[in-house]
Structures are given as C-alpha cells and as structure tokens.
Amino acid sequence: MEMNFLPMSIKEVKRRGWEELDIILITGDAYVDHSSYGTAVIGRVLEKRGYRVGIISQPDWRDTKDFQKLGKPKLFFGITAGNMDSMVANYTANKKPRKKDDYSPGGQAGLRPDRAVIVYANRIREAFGDVIIVIGGIEASLRRFAHYDWWDNTVRRSIIFDARADILVYGMGERQIIEIADRIKQGKGLKHILGTATIAKDVEDSIKEGTDFIEIPSYEEVKNDKEKFNEAFRLIYTNQDPFRGKTIIQKHGNRYLVQYPPQPPLSEREMDEIYELPYTRNPHPSYDASGGIPGFETVRFSIISHRGCCGECSFCGLYMHQGRIVQSRSKHSILKEAKLISERKDFRGTITDVGGPTANLYKAKCPLWDKKGACINRKCLIPKKCNNLKLGLRDCIDLYKEILNISKVKHVFIESGIRYDLISGKDGEEYLVAICKNHISGQMKVAPEHCVDRVLKLMNKPPIECYERFVERFKEVNAKLKKDQYLVHYFITAHPGSTLEDAYAMSRYLKKKNIYPEQIQDFMPLPMTTSGCMYYTEIDPFTGEKIYVAKTFKERKMHRALIQYKNPKNKNLIKEAENTLKQKGIKTNL
C-alpha cells in the first residue's frame, strides 16, 4: 500500500482529488513524517480536523519560485525554521558555519537560510501580498519578545515584526493551530488565542475588558538598558505558567507585541491522540536517492513518551517552549506505537529510545499542576526534589518491560538524558538496576555539566556531590550485575559565572576522576534563556548578582582546551591558560 504523505507537489495534491490547499506549511527541515518533527505533527493535526494541508520543505529562498509551487492556500501559510533555530543549525558555538545539517537530505549544509522564519515569511509576502502568515516552531517561540541575539551581538526586536507575520504561535502549537484555522475559516479575528502573540497598534483593542495584563519594558528600553532587559526577562519568565500567567505587552516603536497566556497542559487523552495520528514514520519518498536524513536515523525506532520539563536548567529553552508541567502519554498508547514499529519491514528488534526531554520524568506529577500550575517561588528539583513532585519511576520500569514483551522486540534502550538526581529511594534503586540490566547498551548518558558548585547553581543544576553519589551507585549496581558499563558525561564550558580558574578546577577534577570527556558543549547564549540573559547583561536576572562572563573566543577556547587536556592540539592553549593563571597567583600542574 502506498504511504500516505502530506502532498509536496501539485501532482500529489491532484492525486488526492484536491483543486487547492487550505493550508501550506513551510519548513527549514526536510519533510519527515514522524512525530519527532514539528511540521509533521502540525500537518497531521490539521489533516485530522479536515483541512487540506501541503508542505514546502527547504525552499530555495533566493527567489519566490519554490514558494509558489503549491499555489496560494485558501486560509494561510504556516512557517517554521524547523526543529532547530536556524542560527543554531547553521553555526557552531564559535560562530563558524557548520559542515553538516542533520535535518537535511544527506546531512547537506546550506539548505536553509539564516533567520529562516523571517526570510521565508518575507518571500511569501513578496509572492502573495496580504495572505495570512502564521509563524511558529522553536525559532519563533524563543524570539517572540525583544531578545538578545548572540550572532548579531545585539538586542533584536520580536521576530513577528521582522517576519511581518499576522500571528505567532509559541510553545507546542497543536491547539493554537486548530483555533487559528477554524477562526480564519469562519472569518473571525485572531486576537485572544492562548499560546499566541500578535501585533497591535492600540493595546486596548487587543486586551479583553477586565483581563489582567502587564506591560514590560519596551524594545527600545531593553536594547539600551541592561537593567531594563533583566526586568523584562523576569516578568516574561514568571508569567509563563498557563494558570497564573498574564497577558504581556511590549512596545516596539509605535506598535505593541501582545502575548496571550500559555495554553493549558494537554491531557493524557490529547497526548495520545496527537502521537497516534497516521504518521508514515518515513522521510518523503522524494529523498530516496539523497543518502538519508541523519536526524531521522536517530529517531526512526524511537518513541516520545512525554513532553515538558520541570528541571529549568538555565541554559535550556524548554521552560519557555514546552513549559515546566510534564505531560505524559498513556502506557496503552505507547505500547500501541511500539507494536506498530515492531511490524515495520526495516525493524531489526531494537527500540532505540522511549523518552522526552528527560527520560525518567515520564509520569511525573505534582498535585498543584492541574489546578494551580507550577509554583512561582519554588523550583521542582533544586536545591532538591520537592516532596510534592511524585515521580513515575515504577511506571517507567513497567512500561519498558511490557514493550520488551512485544513480539519481535529484542531490546528497549533509553537514549534520552537521565537525571541522576532523581534516582533515589527504593523506586530509584529499582529503576537504576532495570536500566543497567536491560536498557543501556554499555553506556549511560549523564550531564553533570560542571564541577564547581557556584557555577552549577547558576546553571540551576544539583551540586557535584549529588553526581558523585550517583557514580558510586552506578558502579555498585553494575558490579552486582557483573556488567562492564560506562557513563558518557556531558559538560558545558564557558558558562556565565565560570572563570578560567573554574575551568582549570574542572580540568583537575576530571583528571583526578580519570574522565576524558568527548561530549563538550561550548556555551551558546540562546535567546530567552536565563543563561543567555546572564551572558548579555553579566548579571543574574533574579538575584542582581554581578557575574563574570568569558566573552572572547580566545578565552572560550582556553576553557575548552583545559577540559580536553589530553588533546595534543590544545597544548599551546593550555600553556597560555596556565600562564594567565600564574599571573593571577594561581599554581597550575596539568
């Protein structure tokens, strides 16, 4: 039977018996019809609602030809840069062009433009004039307010102004996109939709009477005053809860950005419905001869079990995108998907991952989340797990066991990151034993990120002793299981607050522990993250504490060299770092 992809050509549109499309989605990624790809999810959600949806993937942005190939949609164009911000996809942490794009056919770089949402939207305006444009995805979501842009090293205005879009969808946009489509079809306006932002000339016209709203410092103020930037960030951050978040307005020149409060969390039933849509779980056949799509290969046999993360790591954009409230699928739905995967002709017996932002937060629940939302003055996991947060570690173990009972499934591995600070108590011990015994293939990924507690606190990560306790337990469990298994460590260099002395301390720590990390991430200040805010203002936005920030590429390279102390290519940089430290009276001995 022919796989039922959403159409990417007029020929495919005609094959469905359609004369025109209601909605055309444009993406900076290759079209992969899999639930790990946002365009596929949004397309399938709209299709289920009865809308005729087409997709234009990775159009040539140098003229309007590719943007016109499916004609003009009856309702609107939906635009996303893809699964990553286009600047992150196109450039390394040191602002060098990437040689590979995992979301492109054959891993080919250069198939999406810088600032893809803006470029695509303006090409659409050029080609079709006043057609309705909806922007969304991670790039639009995390650039919805005036934000610091590391690549331009300046504060840019909300992306909706530069894109000249009619409405911006932030967060996971399934509910929003349906309401937008329904309203346009009915000839109604696009104001007051939760989880969206629009432009207004007059604030009163965009705020319902009696609605509680706040006005944050304007684009012009945050661009010219770092204290105002921090003030705006705090107000945005503390109003991202769907239960207590207020409408936020931010003036840009003589117009206003109006962000309506976030959408409420999805129910288990809604999550199941989204992930049970008829994805083909394949790239579009037009890519057959292109050498595959690397990003797809990593998720081909994986399952998303939940979304949202209550960890609030400072350097991560998930809080501002997926939110803090964990939303999980039912076990029945996940097992149904696992069975579908097992019946594929290309399945060889291994489910490569069952997880989400953090694998062991599946089925995590707080009694406050359903009615009051997440606490405003308390964090769920730092300095330690809140007693109100109930973990679903037993649910995880049972789920993995039942997937293994499916015919043709030989292995279930967990490739998503695991928070080691949540593996405690009786359930935690059972979870660790189960993972080590059955669900890792010799290696387990953990992310201590740093070893200096002062830096870890700025990262909103647990103290290093928490990691050390976990390492001992990991060794003990594997010794009992008589397994030779290892930890793969993730670290971040040059995070705000980390000095050259701190980088040296981490180097000494790793050497003492006989750890030589390959998984190093040079810090990248992403828009609308706490760490990005710290990088730009050199101030903790919540405490007002001044923070040291390594801003030159030279110093950032020295931080990395100290961590990767065995690499002979780092010899000169390490020597220079040691000389710098000696000038400050710090003895070195690498």
Residue-wise pLDDT tens digits, 442-451: 999 999 999 9
* Cβ neighbours of 533 (radius 10 Å): 28
* 104: Cβ contacts below 8 Å, ≥ 6 apart: 29, 30, 58, 111, 112, 293
Which residue matches tokens 């993972």?
A: 435
> How far is residue 101's CA from residue 115's CA, in Å, rounded to a whole number?
15
> Does one domain contain both 449 and 346?
no
Which pLDDT belongs to residue 1? 35
Which pLDDT belongs to residue 376? 87
> How far is residue 92's CA from residue 557's CA, in Å, rounded to a whole number?
13
> Does one domain contain both 347 and 412?
yes
Are the beta carbons of 209 and 230 closer than 8 angstroms?
no
> Does one domain contain both 177 and 61?
yes
Are the beta carbons of 445 and 488 closer than 8 angstroms?
yes
> How far is residue 34's CA from residue 474's CA, in Å, rounded to a whole number?
34
Q: What CATH number should be reported for the domain holding residue 394?
A: 3.30.750.210
Distances, alpha carbon 39 to alpha carbons 32, 84, 171, 201, in Å: 8, 12, 13, 31
Structure tokens at 28: 């900076």
In the three-class reduction of DSSP (H, G, I as helix; E, B as strand; rest coil), residue 78 is classed as: strand
Are the beta carbons of 492 and 476 closer than 8 angstroms?
no
> Does one domain contain both 476 and 545?
yes
* Cβ neighbours of 349 (radius 10 Å): 10
Are the beta carbons of 492 and 450 closer than 8 angstroms?
yes
10-residue block means of pLDDT along the chain (590 residues)?
Answer: 82 95 98 97 98 98 97 98 97 94 95 98 97 98 98 97 98 97 97 96 79 94 98 96 95 96 96 98 85 91 96 94 96 98 96 95 95 90 94 97 97 93 93 96 92 97 96 97 94 97 95 86 96 98 97 94 91 93 84
Q: Is residue 278 part of a domain?
A: no
> How far is residue 96's CA from residue 588's CA, in Å, rounded to a whole number?
31
Q: What CATH number should be reported for the domain holding residue 558?
A: 3.30.750.200
> Does one domain contain both 354 and 391?
yes
> How far is residue 113's CA from residue 363's CA, in Å, rounded to a whole number?
38
Distances, alpha carbon 573 to alpha carbons 272, 554, 558, in Å: 51, 9, 6
> How far is residue 526's CA from residue 148's CA, in Å, rounded to a whole number?
8
> How far is residue 297's CA from residue 300's CA, in Å, rounded to a whole number?
5
Structure tokens at 162: 């530069």
> Does one domain contain both 211 and 323?
no
Q: What angle do CA 502, 452, 472 make, to 5 degrees?
A: 130
Are the beta carbons of 450 and 459 closer than 8 angstroms?
yes
Domain finish residue from 401, 425, 441: 441
> How far is residue 284's CA from residue 37's CA, in Å, rounded to a whole number?
13
Domain finish residue from 230, 259, 288: 259
* 480: Cβ contacts below 8 Å, ≥ 6 apart: none
Q: Is residue 279 part of a domain?
A: no
Strands (E), 329-470: 350-351, 353-355, 411-412, 443-449
> Does one domain contain both 492 and 426?
no
> How far is residue 263's CA from residue 271's CA, in Å, rounded to a whole number?
14
Structure tokens at 62: 């140098």
| DSSP secondary structure code for residue 374 in this structure | S
What's the count of helices (H) and strands (E) in the chain, helices before strands?
22, 22
| Pairing state between β 167-169 and 196-200 | antiparallel
Which pLDDT belongs to residue 584? 87
Strands (E), 450-513: 486-493
If phi > 0 it is left, if psi is from -120 to 50 it is alpha, else beta; for residue 323 that is left
Distances, alpha carbon 570 to alpha carbons 13, 72, 442, 517, in Å: 55, 54, 29, 14
> Does one domain contain both 425 and 486?
no
> Does one domain contain both 435 and 483?
no
Q: Is residue 393 part of a domain?
A: yes
> How far is residue 543's CA from residue 230's CA, in Å, rounded to a whole number?
10
Q: Is residue 286 part of a domain?
A: no
Q: Is residue 267 part of a domain?
A: no
* Total count of domains within the chain: 3
| Pairing state between β 302-304 and 486-493 | unpaired
Q: Is residue 287 part of a domain?
A: no
| Pairing state between β 282-283 and 32-33 | antiparallel
Which residue matches tokens 């997926």?
A: 322
Which pLDDT belongs to residue 3? 65
> Does one domain contain both 66 and 191?
yes
Domain finish residue from 441, 470, 495: 441
Peptide bond into 383 cis (omega under 30): yes
* Cβ neighbours of 382 (radius 10 Å): 19
> Does one domain contain both 111 and 245?
yes
Q: Is residue 272 part of a domain?
A: no
pTM of the predicted protein model: 0.95
> Does one domain contain both 231 and 344?
no
> How far is residue 20's CA from residue 13's CA, in Å, rounded to a whole number?
8
Q: What CATH number should be reported for the domain holding residue 121?
A: 3.40.50.2300
Domain that includes residue 402, residue range: 301-441
Q: Is residue 264 part of a domain?
A: no
Q: Which helix (H) or strand (E) holds 56?
A: strand 53-57
pLDDT tens-digit profile of 138-187? 999 999 999 999 999 999 999 999 999 999 999 999 999 999 999 999 99
Structure tokens at 221: 């103020």
| DSSP secondary structure code for residue 565 in this structure | T
Distances, alpha carbon 555 to alpha carbons 172, 285, 395, 562, in Å: 37, 46, 46, 11
